[in-house]
Every structure is written in structure tokens, then in C-alpha cells.
Amino acid sequence: MSATVTTPLSHICLIEDHQDYRRVLQQAINSSAHLKCLHAYSSIEAFLEGTTPDGSVDVVLLDLGLPGMHGVEGIKLIQERFPRAKILVLTVYDHKPVVLQALAAGAGGYLLKADRLETIIKGIDDALQGGAPLNSHIARMILTTFNAVRPVMPEIDLTDRERETLGLLAKGMIKKEIAEKLGVSYHTVDTHVRNIYIKLKVHNLSGAVTRAIQLGLT
């Protein structure tokens, strides 16, 4: 008889002040066979009081318009508490300054509450696989921002393929999906991503997106 393979649970933390939406979202997460949401809080302050650094958290779903401390301000504190956790913004705010502030602060994805629950769960899964899930409207906004400015430091410019790779990453695609779309190997995509990080002097996708916007790279 073959041994049964058990998929390890990924632990999700939810910071959302709307009680009904928090309950619905928590139930949706817990209905997944490989996700578990035991921790749900109404504010950054409640999150800090209710968690300890030795806890296990893989993804934090974060609203921005919270009572007390604003979500963008809380991103750094969440990172300090759980440095390995992915932070996904889940909010109603789709204004460019707020989006860019959240990404610059270290958010690894940006989803909207208008998204279907299935889309949000997929976003969590994408983040766990190394992706950076973005609502389609947010992704278009970022790419439009890329195209709206001229390069101000062309010596740090990316190659056409690196720009294409960064654009697909900004749409929330993971490396494997990008490799399939571009018809290249996973190793090639991984090399492009590492080159992007080196050229932009960043360590993650949110940093790359923010840095590219600051430099005016398309």
C-alpha cells in the first residue's frame, strides 16, 4: 500500500475591521483543504496584542482603512512580527497613491474586496507559490504608470525581455507561468528575475515594481 501524502496547512492571518466580511472570508479560507485561518483581528493594534513572533503565519490579508493605525503604517510592524509571511493588501482603496504606498512599504500583492472569494483564495495560493497577486485593475494601473513616464536613468534600464518579465510578474503570474507564456525554461525566467533585482537594487517584487516606477522604467 502506498503512503498517504498529507499537504501541510498554510496559516493565514486576517486583519479586517468589518465583522461580517471578516467572518465570511475566514470561513472561505477555512473551507480550503490546505489553508487555515485561526487568527482574525479588527485592527493592527489587536493583531500586535494577539500574536507573538514565535507564531506560525504564512500569509497576512490586510485591510487598509482600519480603526486606529492605517494598514500601510502597519505593514512594517507585520513584517517585524512575521518576517517570512507574505502580506497581501485586501481593501476597497484603488487610488494610485495608496497602491504605490502599500507596495513601497512591502506589500507582496494587492487585491480588492470587489474580487470574488475564489479570486482571493487563488491570490493566497499564488502568494504561497512565490507570486505577487494583483487585482486586474491594479495591475493595469501599475503598467500604465510604467508607460506614462520616460526613463530618467537609462543606464539602469532593463532589457526588453526583463521588462516583459517584470510586467508579467506585476500581473501576478508566477515564474512557472511566465516560462510557459514566453516559451522559455523556468531557469531562464529565474535568471531574468535575479537580473531585474540586481539592476534595480531590490530584493522582492514589490520593491522592483516600486523602484521601476521611481526610475521611470517601462
CATH number of the CATH domain containing 74? 3.40.50.2300
Q: CB-hemisphere CA count at 13 Å for 128? A: 18
Mean pLDDT of 178-195: 91
**Residue 200 belongs to domain spanning:** 149-215
Please report whether residue 142 resides in a domain. Answer: no
- Convert the pLDDT of each residue in 107-138 to its tens digit: 999 999 999 999 999 999 999 988 889 998 88
C-alpha cell at 118: 475564489
Query: Do 118 and 190 reside in the same domain of the chain?
Result: no
Count of structural domains, the chain: 2
Query: Do 43 and 126 reside in the same domain of the chain?
Result: yes
Query: Do 24 and 65 reside in the same domain of the chain?
Result: yes
pLDDT score, position 79: 94
- The pTM for the full model equals 0.69
Among 133, 158, 176, the domain boundary falls at 133
Mean pLDDT of 141-151: 65
What's the CATH code of the domain at 188? 1.10.10.10
pLDDT score, position 160: 86
Mean pLDDT of 169-192: 87
Query: Do 107 and 159 reside in the same domain of the chain?
Result: no
SS3 content of the chain, % helix, strand, coil (to 5): 50, 15, 35
Please report whether residue 19 resides in a domain. Answer: yes
Mean pLDDT of 190-216: 78
Query: Do 70 and 104 reside in the same domain of the chain?
Result: yes
- pLDDT confidence band for 96 (50 / 70 / 90): confident
Mean pLDDT of 69-94: 94
Among 99, 133, 167, the domain boundary falls at 133
Query: Do 24 and 124 reside in the same domain of the chain?
Result: yes
Please report whether residue 153 resides in a domain. Answer: yes
1: pLDDT strictly greater than 70: no
Residues 131, 140: Cα–Cα separation, whole Å:
17
Query: Do 163 and 97 reside in the same domain of the chain?
Result: no
141: pLDDT strictly greater than 50: yes
Please report whether residue 157 resides in a domain. Answer: yes
Please report whether residue 187 resides in a domain. Answer: yes
Please report whether residue 1 resides in a domain. Answer: no
Among 107, 133, 159, the domain boundary falls at 133
Please report whether residue 3 resides in a domain. Answer: no
Mean pLDDT of 12-21: 96
Mean pLDDT of 56-60: 94
pLDDT score, position 218: 42
Residues 32, 141: Cα–Cα separation, whole Å:
31
- pLDDT confidence band for 19 (50 / 70 / 90): very high
Distance set, CA 212 to CA 25, 59, 142, 145 (Å): 33, 25, 10, 10
Please report whether residue 5 resides in a domain. Answer: no
Between residues 176 and 16, which one has the greater pLDDT? 16
- pLDDT confidence band for 148 (50 / 70 / 90): low
Query: Do 88 and 20 reside in the same domain of the chain?
Result: yes
Residues 12, 21: Cα–Cα separation, whole Å:
16
Query: Do 100 and 181 reside in the same domain of the chain?
Result: no
